[in-house]
């Protein structure tokens, strides 16, 4: 019950913070966001968070779920890869595990200032994209999640970070951290690490994700303030 209580508390706090922020006119909201991120980056340096190097103890791995934690059945799950691709894909969980595996230690920096260092295992996005064959002009991947969330990444950024879809976090299947599939995009803020991914849509024109439409940095490299 401790973890469930913590998740509920985090969700309530996040919604309480978001409520007055979201009603601000967009230009003011953008300025408040920029100033807030700048302050948090300064506090991370002062508090020594950037010096954290060891793995985060499992009980201290922080997570937020704005709309709750969806439960996905591995036996019925499928990942769709579609949009501007030559070969749309519908992949079962077993199909995904037949692709080349990635196993890495990664660092997740939350835009709110916290840091998680974890081991994550999953399937390379490069291998999925190779199978789907993006069409000329496709420059963005839109990640759609089981809870209704979505975020976007330029394909060039995914290639640069060697992004992947993780199905193991610290060796475990952990629904609160995104199981079955969580996007891992190193050096990007945590809201870009989409949880419970069920669809990857290839698009053009650099569409914005959910939080990006509301004023958070679009490319969201760690250190970006606008």
**143-154 pLDDT, tens per residue?**
999 999 999 999
**199-211 pLDDT, tens per residue?**
999 999 989 999 9
Sorted by sequence, the CB contacts under 8 Å of residue 61 that are 6+ apart come out as 116, 118, 169, 170, 177
Q: Note the pTM of the prediction, 2 decimals.
A: 0.92
pLDDT recorded at residue 6? 54
Distance CA(146)–CA(203), nearest Å, equals: 19
* 133-147: average pLDDT: 97
Least confident of 7-11, 137-141, 208-212: 7-11
* 81-87: average pLDDT: 98
Closest CA to 104 of 28, 29, 168: 168
Contact (CB, 8 A) for 67 and 149: yes
Q: Which fold has domain 2-213?
A: Sulfite Oxidase; Chain A, domain 2 (3.90.420)
> Where are the chain's structural domains?
2-213
């Amino acid at each position: 019950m401790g973890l469930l209580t913590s998740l509920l508390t985090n969700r309530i706090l996040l919604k309480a913070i978001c409520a007055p922020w979201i009603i601000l006119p967009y230009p003011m909201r953008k300025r408040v966001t920029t100033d807030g991120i700048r302050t948090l980056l300064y506090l991370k340096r002062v508090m020594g968070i950037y010096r954290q190097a060891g793995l985060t103890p499992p009980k201290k791995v922080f997570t937020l779920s704005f709309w709750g934690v969806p439960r996905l059945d591995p036996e019925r799950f499928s990942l769709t890869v579609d949009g501007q691709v030559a070969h749309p894909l519908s992949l079962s969980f077993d199909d995904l595990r037949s692709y080349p595996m990635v196993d890495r230690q990664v660092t997740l920096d939350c835009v709110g200032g916290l840091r998680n260092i974890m081991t994550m295992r999953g399937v390379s996005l490069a291998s999925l994209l190779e199978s789907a064959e993006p069409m000329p002009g496709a420059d963005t991947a839109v990640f759609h999640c089981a809870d209704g969330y979505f975020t976007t990444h330029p394909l060039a950024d995914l290639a640069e970070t060697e992004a992947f879809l993780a199905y193991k976090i610290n060796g475990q299947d952990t629904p609160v951290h995104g199981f079955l599939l969580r996007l891992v995009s190193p050096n990007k803020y945590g809201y870009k690490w989409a949880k419970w991914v069920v669809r990857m849509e290839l698009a053009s024109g650099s569409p914005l994700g959910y939080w990006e439409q509301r004023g958070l940095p679009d490319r969201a490299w760690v250190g970006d303030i606008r």
